[in-house]
Structure 1
Amino acid sequence: MKLTKTVDLLVENGEQIVGYNVFDEPIYETVFEKIPIKCDVEPYSSKMAENRYGIVTDVQYRLFTKPDSRLKLGEKIEYRNEKYIVTGVMDFDRHYEVLMKRDDAQ
């Protein structure tokens, strides 16, 4: 398996103050640590996921990588400067196949 691309797993790393509101109360923003993961990524669809894996979920990309227990449902991934959410993880003996959809709540 050739892992020619890299995605970043976004892991929450606390909050930081980004400003203050009109009542002088702090406004917080979640800070994410980026953990690079070597992989291969291909466009994918919900219909293809249903046919291949038998699951119904939103999907834009499928990613292939070595087994990594940090990849779980609901985790956030950054790929090509866009954020995605993991919607499926298939754990095979020697690799993971991970389905992801665009994070609309950016």
Structure 2
Amino acid sequence: MDYREKATILVVEKISDNMGGYEETETELKTIKCKVAPYTVKSIDSKGREISYSLNKLFTKEKILDDLDDDFKILYKDKKYKKVSMADYGKCYMVVMERDD
């Protein structure tokens, strides 16, 4: 698999507002080389209708975060995506991502 495409990993940091709350800011963690492939998911809703929607799979050899359960966002081709799931296959990592509108 060729990893010619690039994506930027964004993490959300919570900064205290000194009044008991916080403000969220997105910061760029790093840029990774990757391969992105779209795929379609089909499911049946409660009324028996078939619903299909598109997700993307991102493959990379680079370690993104230390913990696979940590949340992050991906900036890919000027569009922002959120992580749905992530898997470590030993030789590569796979991130399932959907558009974050």
Q: Normalised by the shorter chain, which TM-score bucket?
A: 0.5 to 0.7
> What is the CA deviation profile of residues 48-94 of structure 1, one whole-angstrom value per residue up to 9, with x for unaligned ones?
xxxxxxxxxx7521111115141845310001111101101121011
Of 87, 90, 101, which aligns to 1:90?
87
Root-mean-square deviation over aligned CA pairs: 2.4
Is structure 2 residue 40 aligned with structure 1 residue 40? Answer: no
Q: How many residues align?
A: 82
Q: Among all aligned residue pairs of Structure 1 and Structure 2, give the percentage whose two residues are the same amino acid.
A: 35
Q: Taking structure 2 as the reference length, what is the TM-score of the superposition? A: 0.66
Counterpart residue number, 2:48: none
Q: Which runs of 5+ in 1 are unaligned?
A: 16-27, 48-57
> Relative to structure 1, is the Cα distance of residues 65 and 78 closer, same or farther in structure 2, using a 3 angstrom cutoff?
same
Aligned equivalents of 2:99, 2:82: Cα separation in 1: 6
Q: Which has the higher helix share?
A: 1
Secondary structure in 1 matching 2:63: coil
Q: Taking structure 1 as the reference length, what is the TM-score of the superposition? A: 0.63
Q: Which runs of 5+ in 2 are unaligned?
A: 16-22, 43-52
> Relative to structure 1, is the Cα distance of residues 93 and 29 closer, same or farther in structure 2, using a 3 angstrom cutoff?
closer
Counterpart residue number, 1:30: 25
Q: Which has the higher strand share?
A: 2
Counterpart residue number, 2:8: 8
Aligned equivalents of 1:33, 1:14: Cα separation in 2: 14
Q: Does the CA-based 8 Å contact 1:67-1:91 persist in structure 2?
A: no
